Amino acid sequence: MNIRNLNLTNALAFAATDIRIPYLRTVVALAVTIVSGCAHGGPPPGGPPPVSVSTARISRGAIATFVSFDAEVTPVYQTTLSTPEAGTVTAINVTEGDFVHRGQLLASLDTSQLQATLEANEAAVRADAAQLVHSTVAAPIQTQQYSSAVASANQNLQSAINSVRSARAALAHDELTERADLQLLGQQYVSRQTYEQARATAVASRETLRSDLQAVTAQQAALRTALSNTNQRLEDQATIAQDAAGLDEARANVKLLQAQIAQSSIVAPFDGQITQRLLDAGAYAGASSGVFTIAQVSRVYVVANVPDVDLPAVTRGKAVTFTTPSLPGRTFYGRIFDINTTPTSGTLTYRVRLLQSNPDLALRGGMFANVTVERARHADVLLVPTAAVTNGSGEPSVFVVADGKAKSVPVRVGLQTDSVTEVAGDGLTPGTTVVTSQPGSLQDGAAIAQAGAPSTQVGQR
């Protein structure tokens, strides 16, 4: 090599170490090769000049593929609050944007008429309770009276029967005396006056017997009446039951009115934020008219519709990430909460929800989101840049660098992303240099010139 060629070679080599732009480095490298060839008196022997390519080294690591779905943020709970009662709104205690707690009073209706009706029914309860006490206390007393009446009637009847027996005995004696005196009068052993007195005594005895028989009949009727009155005990029990039922009905009316009064006040069913205020104080609210809309925002759902072909990638409890254009720069982490078992009407997509904590209230209902789910992951595999894989011969292959030449090696392709591909093939090991650019002149066995050192960073995800 003469001094002139040596100086040119050194100058080009110096330029190659100083230039930072990759394609200029390639040009300088080629120029150095050409100059070196000229120094030997002509172009390199044995074929065309080397093909300039970019290279990288095979690495070992993990690769994952992901699938993304459009989604929407919705409140866990959102409802319109109303009251089943109709009335004039007397108080509105909150407005849109206010955060409220469960049980907090939000609005009230006029309950003056209900209060008056409640007081009347409470008075009815007291009256019915007093009536029940009276009938309950009186029933045993009346039962005792019925029993005493039966005993007394039995005693009076027995006394009347005994009087009849005595009257019949007296009548038999008096009639016998009357007949005897009549016979003795005929024999003139007694005076007519004696006979008349005996006959008058017999007549009196007959009258006494008839009176005693009537008394027996009367006492028998009295006994039947007393026995019949004992059935009044059943009626007394029925009266007690009726009074108790009346008291229960009055109490039920009081509870109904109390419930109506309570339902005339609107309270927060859960912790949340008032998103709409539909009425103002003084407005008339019809039954079931909406007054507020409330949403729970401390937790939200992130709802996505997943095509059936992607369902294997989503399982309950699986970790996911999502972003929203409303909050640029933030990535949220969550887990799949539930998966609908039937498709959304008219589609072949299934509703999938995340239940996401929202402590800073940054997520709001209606925000659009993009949910990313890991589809598959392989660990400890060989990875190359996706650009290194070629299908020129119909089968996937890569060009490896061996002794300054490109060698085509068939590969089996596994998981693949935009930047990284999982490969397996004979002779491929971590650190093997592969060609990442595919010039049209690159052929199996072609001499190559590497543009810079092979990259050792294979983008992994």
* Contact between residue 64 and residue 82 where contact means Cβ atoms under 8 Å apart: no
Q: Summarize the confidence of residues 329-349 as an average pLDDT.
A: 92
Q: In the predicted model, is pLDDT for residue 272 greater than 60? A: yes
Element (H, E) at 368: strand 368-385
Q: For Cα atoms 9, 13, 18, give the angle at the middle one, nearest 5 degrees.
A: 150
pLDDT tier at 66 (50, 70, 90 boundaries)?
very high
Of 19-23, 368-372, 451-455, least confident by mean pLDDT is 19-23
d(CA 357, CA 300): 7
pTM (predicted TM-score)? 0.57
Q: Summarize the confidence of residues 57-78 as an average pLDDT.
A: 94
Q: Summarize the confidence of residues 143-162 as an average pLDDT.
A: 83
d(CA 379, CA 114): 72
Neighbours of 332 (CB within 10 A): 20
d(CA 381, CA 422): 7
At 390, give phi and psi (nearest 5°).
Answer: -125, 150
Q: In the predicted model, is pLDDT for residue 138 greater than 90? A: no
Of 35-39, 94-98, 357-361, least confident by mean pLDDT is 35-39
Tokens encoding 77: 């709970």
Contacts of 308 (CB under 8 A, 6+ apart): 343, 348, 349, 350
Computed over every residue of the chain, the mean pLDDT equals 84
pLDDT tier at 453 (50, 70, 90 boundaries)?
low
Residue 141's pLDDT is what? 72
Residue 223's pLDDT is what? 80
At 82, give phi and psi (nearest 5°).
Answer: -145, 180
Coil vs helix vs strand at 289: coil
Residue 47's pLDDT is what? 64
Q: In the predicted model, is pLDDT for residue 316 greater than 90? A: yes
* Contact between residue 164 and residue 212 where contact means Cβ atoms under 8 Å apart: yes
Residue 41's pLDDT is what? 36
Q: In the predicted model, is pLDDT for residue 11 greater than 70? A: no
Residue 452's pLDDT is what? 64
Tokens encoding 97: 């944007």
Coil vs helix vs strand at 391: coil
Q: In the predicted model, is pLDDT for residue 29 greater than 90? A: no
Element (H, E) at 357: strand 349-357
Residue 1's pLDDT is what? 40
Length of the chain counted residue by residue: 461
Neighbours of 74 (CB within 10 A): 18
